[in-house]
Amino acid sequence: MMAGKVAIVTGASKGIGAATARELAAQGAAVMLVARNVEACEEIAAEIRTNGGQASAVGCDVSDFAQVTSAVVKTVGAFGRLDILVNNAGVIEPIASVRDADPQDWADSISINLAGAYFMVKAALAAFGDNGVIVNVSSGAAHAPREGWSAYCAGKAGMAMLTRSIALEIPSDKVRVYGYAPGTVDTEMQAVIRASGVNPISQMKREDHWPVETPATVITWLCREEASDLAGQELNINDENLRRRAGLPK
Ligand code: NAP
Q: What is the pLDDT of residue 206?
A: 97
Q: Would you place residue 117 in the very low, low, confident or very high pLDDT band (cuts 50, 70, 90)?
A: very high
Q: Where are the domains of the chain?
A: 6-237
- Ligand 1: residue whose CA is nearest its atom 44: 139
Average pLDDT, the chain: 98
The residue among 8, 2, 16 whose CA lies nearest residue 210 is: 16
Predicted TM-score (pTM) of the model is: 0.98
Which residue has its alpha carbon closest to ligand 1 atom 43? Answer: 139
Work out the pLDDT band at 20, boundaries 50, 70, 90: very high
Give the distance (Å) from ligand 1 centre to CA of residue 100: 23
DSSP for the chain? Answer: --TT-EEEEESTTSHHHHHHHHHHHHTT-EEEEEES-HHHHHHHHHHHHHTT-EEEEEE--TT-HHHHHHHHHHHHHHHS---EEEE--------B-TTTS-HHHHHHHHIIIIIHHHHHHHHHHHH--S-EEEEEE--GGGTS--TTBHHHHHHHHHHHHHHHHHHHHS-TTTEEEEEEE--SBSSHHHHHHHHH--SGGGGS-GGGSBPTHHHHHHHHHHTSGGGGGGTT-EEETT-HHHHHHTT---
Q: How far is the CA of 140 from the centre of ligand 1 (A)?
A: 15
The pairing of strands 175-181 and 132-137 is: parallel
Q: 116-127 vs 150-169: helix axis angle to the nearest 10?
A: 20
In this structure, the residue with its CA closest to atom 41 of ligand 1 is 185
Residue 40 CA: which ligand 1 atom is closest?
Answer: 47
Residues 6 or more apart from 136 whose CB is under 8 A from it? 87, 117, 159, 160, 162, 163, 177, 178, 179, 180
Residue 143 Cα to chain centre, angstroms: 17
Closest ligand 1 atom to residue 141 Cα is 43
pLDDT, residue 63, reads 98
Question: In this predicted model, what pLDDT tens digit does every residue of 154-212 receive, in sequence order?
Answer: 999 999 999 999 999 999 999 999 999 999 999 999 999 999 999 999 999 999 999 99
pLDDT in tens, 59-101: 999 999 999 999 999 999 999 999 999 999 999 999 999 999 9
Q: Ligand 1: which of 63, 91, 149 to mutate, most ligand atoms within 8 Å of CB?
A: 91
**Single-letter residue type at 245:** R
Pick the CATH number of 6-237 from 3.40.50.720, 3.40.50.10470, 3.30.70.141, 3.40.50.1220: 3.40.50.720
Cβ neighbours of residue 211 closer than 8 Å, sequence gap 6 or more: 185, 186
| Span between the terminal Cα atoms of the chain, in Å | 23
Residues contacting ligand 1 via CB (< 6 Å)? 10-17, 35-37, 60-63, 88-91, 112, 116, 137, 139, 182, 184-185, 187-190
> Is residue 159 a contact partner of residue 114, using CB atoms and an 8 Å limit?
yes
